[in-house]
Amino acid sequence: MPEQPKTIGFIGTGIMGAPMAANLLKAGCRVVVHNRTKSRAQPLLEQGALWADTPAEAAERADFVITCLPNTPDVQQVLLGPDGVCQTARAEFVCIDTSTICPDATRTIAALLGQKGVLFFDAPVSGGQIGAVEGKLSIMLGGPQEHIETVRPILEMLGRTITYCGPVGCGQMTKLANQIMVIHTIVSIAEGLAFAKKAGLNLQTTLSAVLAGAAYSHSLKHLGPKILAGDWKPAFKVDLQIKDLNLILNYAQRIGQPLPATALARELLSILSARGRGQDGTQALFEVIEQMGQ
């Protein structure tokens, strides 16, 4: 196995990024963190992480940089902006982007960084906050196949399954396919539980029964109990899910693939966002479905 890198820069310490960076610390890595709001990184600093004032500083002090950011413009700014990683990254430096962003933008970022000799991998993740905390994420890797072993030791600290999906951008396209399937699962959970409640069933009994059958899923296991408890705290925010669905539908239009049910899911989530609930978890979709029957 290749030698473990001495220092990893980690940029973006939100719901997913913070536990991922924490797992790198637990694995014995020296981690330099940067986040737009420093207070969000404070727990990591207390665990031994070092602070960088800018992404450029994080790259200057690290051998690798991992980004975990909300949207395409955020990744572009952090990697290519005036204080970005590109300002201090050198030849054979490695960037790993675990965000979910536009595949076309991913390819452009890789090409621009490649002009400086920087290796770029898109490595979006699935498994939610629990997967990030437990180090059991599924990682969908795109990038130069001949350099996979350079990044594998790092990714193995973050995830249980690492799947090479193809050249740069293929990780992102695979993640978008994943998000299509996930959102339909969440819609089905919301509709199933709303139906059960309207029909007068005991929701806990219903949940226990369906978890034991063919309807079982990771989402049902973790979001079903939250719905029953009225817990809308996000493992994944409504507004971020809408962002992903916009990426999906824009790319689908470009390649000529209709996704009618995905478009409907976006409209249902948009109702929540319009009600000021964009920061709630996607399980709050249950309330939209339930209220349609009132």
Residues labelled as active-site residues: 175
The closest of 73, 66, 63, 91 to 7, measured between CA atoms, is 63
The distance from CA 173 to its chain's CA centroid, rounded to whole angstroms, is 13
SS3 268: helix
Cα(166)–Cα(169) distance, integer angstroms: 8
List CB contacts of 254: < 8 A, sequence separation 6 or more: none
The closest of 140, 149, 90, 88 to 114, measured between CA atoms, is 90
Instruction: Note whether 63 and 89 are within 8 A (CB).
Output: no
List CB contacts of 9: < 8 A, sequence separation 6 or more: 31, 32, 33, 34, 52, 55, 58, 59, 61, 62, 64, 65, 66, 85
Cα(221)–Cα(207) distance, integer angstroms: 9
Cα(271)–Cα(151) distance, integer angstroms: 40
